[in-house]
Amino acid sequence: MRVATVDDIPAIAAMGAHFIETEYPGAIRFDAERLGTLTRSLIEGAGVVFVVEQDGALVGMMALTTYTHPMNGDPIATEIVWWIQPEARGGRAALQLFKAGETWARAQGATQFQMIAPSDKVGAFYERLGFTKIETHYQRAL
């Protein structure tokens, strides 16, 4: 597990496409150029991207950023994506990414760590990690 570099952007974009197709089919439009721009900005200081490699290929990622809560000014760390390729699941990679993300969030001075759950199954996993469900988002096309 390591911090991503700009050389990783093509592989991160490929994993991002797989993530969106798998977790958000029809709900989020994939834009490789925009994902590349976002990833570059995180790598260059707007946040962080951690990656996991197996046999020389990237198989997992976690991207995070921080923001100031608009209602109380608290510093919040929020996950943008946490993904392990299906063939790499079942090992320690996901937990390594999570722990790195949590450590990074604390180092940024965050007082809260937010994770996004695309399904109830993922939400239940987060609850086992000590997270509390605080809201549910709904979306419709305009």
Write down the H helix ranges in the chain.
Answer: 9-23, 32-41, 93-107, 120-128
Q: What is the 8-class DSSP label of residue 43?
A: I
Pairing of strands 112-114, 47-54: unpaired
Structurally, the chain folds into a number of domains equal to 1
- CATH assignment at residue 15: 3.40.630.30
Pick from 65, 82, 79, 77: which is nearest to 15 by CA? 82
pLDDT digit string (tens) for 9-51?
999 999 999 888 888 888 888 898 999 999 999 999 999 999 9
User: What residues make up the domain containing 115?
Assistant: 2-128
Q: Is residue 141 part of a domain?
A: no
pLDDT digit string (tens) for 56-104?
999 999 999 999 999 999 999 999 999 999 999 888 999 999 999 999 9
Q: Is residue 133 part of a domain?
A: no
Where does the pLDDT of residue 138 fall: very low under 50, low under 70, confident under 90, or very high at 90 and above?
Answer: confident
Distance in angstroms (rounded) separating the CA atoms of residues 92 and 27: 29
Residue 121 buriedness (CB in 10 A; 0-12 / 13-18 / 19+): exposed
Q: Is residue 139 part of a domain?
A: no
Q: Is residue 136 part of a domain?
A: no
Contact status, residue 75 vs residue 111, Cβ threshold 8 Å: yes
Q: Is residue 134 part of a domain?
A: no
Q: What is the 8-class DSSP label of residue 59?
A: E
